[in-house]
Copies of this chain bind each other. A is one copy, B any other.
Amino acid sequence: MAVYTEVSDEELEVFVGEYDIGNVMSCKGIAEGVENSNYLLQTTTGNYILTLYEKRVSPKDLPFFIELMEHLAHQGLACPTPLAGRDGRSLRELCGRPAAIISFLQGLWPRRVTAAHCASLGRAMADMHQKGLSFAQSRENSLGLPSWRPLFTQEAHRADDLKPGLSKFITEEISEIERIWPTSLPKGIIHADLFPDNVFFIGNNVSGIIDFYFACTDFLAYDIAICLNAWCFEADSSFNVTKARLMLQGYCQARPISAQELDALPILARGAAMRFLLTRLYDWLNTPPGALVKRKDPLEYERKLRFHSGITGPAAYGFDQALMSGGAS
């Protein structure tokens, strides 16, 4: 649920007047996304998304995100394209916040993920990785491995309020993950938040990827590891190997996974589970009562983390090197 900033009609008309997109006919706050204020803007020329960037997105990172979307869209990826105003600028200010108008993507994000969704997601993710290779800029992953220990240290004394023993478990896991984290896998631009609500489908096929506001430079396989967590577990925390296999096979159709990357998937997935466990824990402990966001359960990611810690190799994801051609099904 996200509309943090109310835009007045006068301010909106002045803002939209900077673009060649006709007159405002309607503008409704969208109850999705938790980082920014998003409006569905209808003008006499069509539908657009108006985004006001709220405090969680650092203004200094905005040109990177905007230019990345422009680059990927230009390469043919179905992702939001920032619109340029008459002055050529796509990033300006509204209600004291950085703001942009971006293209509207059709499709629905899947409330219930199917194996067919996962196959298409894999292909789309690999395609995005390929198209990002020619993007000249880079951005450090501010929520990567080096951030986890300091992020946890602030909350460690309260973690056991959520579940006895949680603090000790996380501390030991962070140490182990730091010890065995890979150092030399292929890097590139990753989305870093490729959850179902950021991927639109028409039928079983990905029609668009949105919300690039965590995008950064990191191991490409780390994006896959995030998706193993976000797409392949069932509501009861059981792991669905069919979904994982189809996702990995789909991925290989657009970009081969190397043997090195495959071997690293369990540790990367363990790290990805830690990253979301820690940010959810932080939000859980720091969201004031009455805030207009639904807190997400951190312990969902504790269970996922335990799954990845407990497996003996990538075969647990239903995938092995024999399937890497991407052709088999």
Contact = CB atoms under 8 A, between A and B. Distances in A.
A292 interface: yes
A133 interface: no
Given A3-B31, A31-B3, A12 B292 contact: no
Contact of A25 (B7, B28, B29, B202): B202
Given A9-B112, A25-B202, A290-B289, A42 B31 contact: no
Nearest to A6: B111
Contact of A28 (B6, B32, B291): B32
Contacts of A202: 25
A314 interface: no
A276 B151 CA distance: 45
Contact of A1 (B10, B31, B289, B295): B31
Contacts of A290: 289-291, 295
B108 A12 contact: yes
Interface string A89-124: 000000000000000111110111000000000000
A202 B42 CA distance: 13
A107 to B, nearest CB: 6
A130 interface: no
Q: Quick one: copies of this chain in the complex?
A: 2
A56 interface: no
State the majority secondary structure of interface residues on A: loop
A4 B12 CA distance: 28
Interface residues of A, number: 38
A24 interface: yes
Contacts of A107: 25-26
A47 interface: yes
A166 interface: no
Nearest to A44: B106
B1 A42 contact: no
A292 B295 CA distance: 11
Contact of A112 (B1, B8, B25): B8
A117 B47 CA distance: 26
Of residues A107, A108, A110, A112, which shows the largest number of chain B Cβ atoms within 10 Å of its Cβ? A108
6 contacts: A1-B31, A25-B107, A26-B107, A28-B40, A30-B40, A289-B289
